[in-house]
Amino acid sequence: MKKIILVLTVSMAALFVNAQSSSKEQKKQEKKDRVNQLIKQEEEGTIIFNKQGAFGIKLSTDGYGIFYEHGRYKTVTKTFLWWVELSERKHPKEEKSPGAPIGGFSIGNPYVYGKINNFYYLNLGLGGQRLIGGKGNKNGIAVSAIYGGGFSAGLLKPYYLTVGDSASNNAIDIRYTDQTAHQFIDATNILGAAGFTKGFSQIKFVPGVHARLALRFDYGRFNELLSAVETGVTAAYYTQDIAQMIGSEPKKFFFNAYVAVAFGKRK
């Protein structure tokens, strides 16, 4: 009786494994057939997907940021895009210093000596994506050109330092002004950077425009999931001079190079 039960158990296990294996093979074949069908449709000039949406992380030569992009396919090779991006732009001379040490330990927040403003920007743009390479290659990478531009909202948040105040013998938070300049640049009196939220109520808005030109390398082309790496350049011009550091000339025009990764879906 035990032998019969053992044989039945082994047989059931073998049937289960075979069924699982057959199911995986079937799914793999269905996926392969679907990809081949998508390639065939593209070669015939049929739009494979109607739209796409993607989130991305961007690292540039003067900062970092995040963005969301939405695209609507016009033809097999052309896509209309709009995007929104929020980033911080740092000055080349920025260098963090540790907070004031006491007993061998730093008690203050790290700070940037001579920094006047945090410079954030919100970009709203329109443009296009044009396929320029990789067409018909299911195992390759699709290369596309990204181009466009639009509105840029420069957001200047005053940079606050925590310093020792000899008059009150207390620590106070100050921003750079003509009245506080002597305290702001006295490194021996700086305890550290004030809290991140300090200065948000005093953000100054500076309007401008921006332009974007890039190459996108899409390695998830025949898939509902969008997976791509992008490298490019952006330029921005603002209506007022942007001051970021003491001793550096404020300017209106900014240019950077960047690399970004984007993940999203096609429908």
Per-position DSSP letters for 24-84, written without gaps between them? HHHHHHHHHHHHHHHHHHHHTT--S-SEEEEEEEEEETTEEEEEEEEEEESSSSEEEEEEE
Q: What is residue 224's predicted lDDT score, i.e. its pLDDT? A: 78
Q: Does the pLDDT value for residue 2 go beyond 60?
A: no
pLDDT in tens, 242-263: 999 999 999 999 999 999 999 9
- pLDDT tens sequence across 177-197: 999 999 999 998 899 999 889
pLDDT for position 128 = 97
Comparing 39-43, 57-61, 176-180, 244-248, the range with the smallest average pLDDT is: 39-43
pLDDT at 10: 54
Say if residue 26's pLDDT is above 70: no
Tell me: the pLDDT tens digits for 45-57? 445 778 999 999 9
Quote the pTM value.
0.79
DSSP string, 96-153: EEPPPEETTEE-SPPEETTB-EEEEEEEEEEEEEEEEE-TT-TTS-EEEEEEEEEEEE
Please provide residue 162's backbone torsions phi and psi, each rounded to the nearest 5 degrees. Answer: -95, 120
pLDDT for residue 49: 77
